[in-house]
């Protein structure tokens, strides 16, 4: 729409897409920000500290708009989204990437740590969505891309609270996809497998206070995680671009080759259990009554 308006005003239309990306300072967010800029798109890149984004502006000039934004501060989020939209004239892709993991068993993690996790992973995401959606509706187009995880479908021990935040993230985006489709807006949930990013760094990981009773189990689990082979995060931009450029983008997309076999096996096991216990479940329905 913005391109059509520009052409109607005698201005040259802006090529490429306009992105709003959270967590653009490192990991996937940084890689995807640079890849979008390199292909000629424009990006409003957000991070808690502007210092982590200054080199982007030095390299890409007016194509990038660095914005300091803490997703846990709704006023900052609303201001950043509005500024990005006003600056570029539109937002084509809103990519929620900011998040971190909490390491600790269900018994170990203090409630305050779990709340803090949800403030970033869930309420921070909601702040971005709720700030962007009125603008996208007014445009009549836009693509919400939410970065989840294979752990949004299958939970693991020791990082159960992180998994739970991604399960909530998935449910929110699945509902959202149906709610905003009539407005011409799309939603895709991207579910990366294990990748060699900075996600395990101190900036992306919080450790709950440990209890001795879980020490050996926790250490063994974390050692197994470290031993897994991670994918190359720099191989992911073409998959992301294929989704945002698609006429009919999928609701869900795995990144990497590990998730599909894993999830296929887990879901087969779940279905087998449900089938095995179907007589018990069916009996719990009770006597059916005709509806009027």
Among candidate residues 162, 164, 165, 195, the one labeled active-site is 162
What number of other Cβ atoms are within 10 A of residue 231's Cβ? 17
49 belongs to the catalytic site:
no
| Cα 184 off chain centre by | 21
Of 256, 239, 248, 259, the closest CA to residue 32 belongs to 239
60 belongs to the catalytic site:
no
Report yes or no: 160 and 106 within 8 Å, Cβ to Cβ. yes
What number of other Cβ atoms are within 10 A of residue 232's Cβ? 10
Place of tokens 């600790």: 104
Among candidate residues 25, 63, 101, 148, the one labeled active-site is 148
Among candidate residues 25, 63, 166, 195, the one labeled active-site is 166
Element (H, E) at 65: strand 64-68
Of 99, 79, 90, 91, the closest CA to residue 27 belongs to 99
What is the spatial distance between Cα 51 and Cα 54, in angstroms, rounded to a whole number? 5
Q: What are residue 55's phi and psi, to 5 degrees?
A: -65, -25
Q: Is 57 exposed, middle or buried (0-12, 13-18, 19+ CB in 10 A)?
A: middle
166 belongs to the catalytic site:
yes
Q: Which residues are catalytic?
A: 148, 162, 166
């Amino acid at each position: 729409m913005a391109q059509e308006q520009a052409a109607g005003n005698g201005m040259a239309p802006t090529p490429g897409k306009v992105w709003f990306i959270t967590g653009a300072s490192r990991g996937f967010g940084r890689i995807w920000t640079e890849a979008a800029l390199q292909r000629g798109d424009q990006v409003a890149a957000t991070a808690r500290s502007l210092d982590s984004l200054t080199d982007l502006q030095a390299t890409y000039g007016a194509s990038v708009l660095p914005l300091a934004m803490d997703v846990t501060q709704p006023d900052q989020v609303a201001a950043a989204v509005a500024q990005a939209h006003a600056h570029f004239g539109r937002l084509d892709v809103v990519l929620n990437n900011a998040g971190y993991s909490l390491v600790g068993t269900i018994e170990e993690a203090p409630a305050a740590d779990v709340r803090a996790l949800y403030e970033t992973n869930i309420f921070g995401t909601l702040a971005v969505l709720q700030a962007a959606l009125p603008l996208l509706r007014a445009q009549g187009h836009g693509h919400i891309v939410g970065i989840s995880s294979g752990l949004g479908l299958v939970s693991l021990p020791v990082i159960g609270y992180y998994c739970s935040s991604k399960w909530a993230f998935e449910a929110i985006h699945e509902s959202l996809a149906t709610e905003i489709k009539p407005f011409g807006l799309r939603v895709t949930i991207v579910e990366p497998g294990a990748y060699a990013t900075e996600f395990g760094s101190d900036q992306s990981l919080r450790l709950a206070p440990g209890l001795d009773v879980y020490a050996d189990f926790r250490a063994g689990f974390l050692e197994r995680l470290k031993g897994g082979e991670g994918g190359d995060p720099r191989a992911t931009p073409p998959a992301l671009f294929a989704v945002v450029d698609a006429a009919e983008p999928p609701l869900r997309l795995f990144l990497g080759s590990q998730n599909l076999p894993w999830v296929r096996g887990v879901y087969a096991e779940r279905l087998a259990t449900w089938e095995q216990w179907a007589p018990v479940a069916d009996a719990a329905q009770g006597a059916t009554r005709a509806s009027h």
